[in-house]
Amino acid sequence: MSELLHPNAPHDLPSFITAPGDTDVLMVVVGVILLGTVLAVGNIYLRLHTLPERMAHRSQKLQFEIVAVLGLLALFTHMHVFWVAGLLLAMIDLPDFSTPLRSIAGSVAAIAGVQPGAEAPRPPHDIATAVAPGLAKPDLAKPDLAKPDLAKASDKKEPGEDDAGASGLPGHA
């Protein structure tokens, strides 16, 4: 390398200085180390960022989804308060309401005689327009506004008249 140096250049150059046209080994090694360091630090930050989601993964589905949305909001808005809220929500163990409600629904279905998983019979869409089979459909456009005859309802019966009530026995109302 000394024959390639300029006569005015110092002859005791460090070993990492390369001759013109040669590969700079030090730059390649530093580039590989830099790339590895950036990937390692990025992996650490990604693991730290997904910490609330990994903590909430073993909890309920709804809680996990809320924590995941908070994590995405923190990622895209750069507002760390969403990440902190997600971390706190992941740490809190929410009570399980769905399991007892499913158990109650299954018991009620068993009492009603509905097969588990079968679709329950649907009630009519509008109870006012529902008609029993064999009956004429009521005309709702013209409501029956006939007033009851109160004079007939308040008539007193004469003694001895048949006053059989709902029981069908005379004298019993």
| Alpha carbon distances (Å) from 99 to 96, 105, 137 | 6, 10, 44
Q: What is the pTM of this model?
A: 0.46
Mean pLDDT taken over the chain: 77
38-44: average pLDDT: 97
Residue in the structure block whose two tokens are 């006053």? 163
Q: What is the dihedral of CA 105, 106, 112, 115, to 10 degrees?
A: 130
Element counts in the chain: helices (H) and strands (E): 6, 0
Confidence of residue 130 (pLDDT cuts 50, 70, 90): low
pLDDT digits (tens, 9 = 90+) for 155-172: 555 555 555 555 556 555
Quick check: 70 pLDDT over 60?
yes
pLDDT digits (tens, 9 = 90+) for 79-97: 999 999 999 988 888 777 7
Q: Specify the pLDDT at position 82.
A: 93
The helix (run of H) or strand (run of E) holding residue 102 is helix 98-112
Q: Specify the pLDDT at position 63.
A: 87
Q: Specify the pLDDT at position 97.
A: 78
- Any residues with CB less than 8 A from the CB of 173 and at least 6 apart, and which? 163, 165, 166, 167
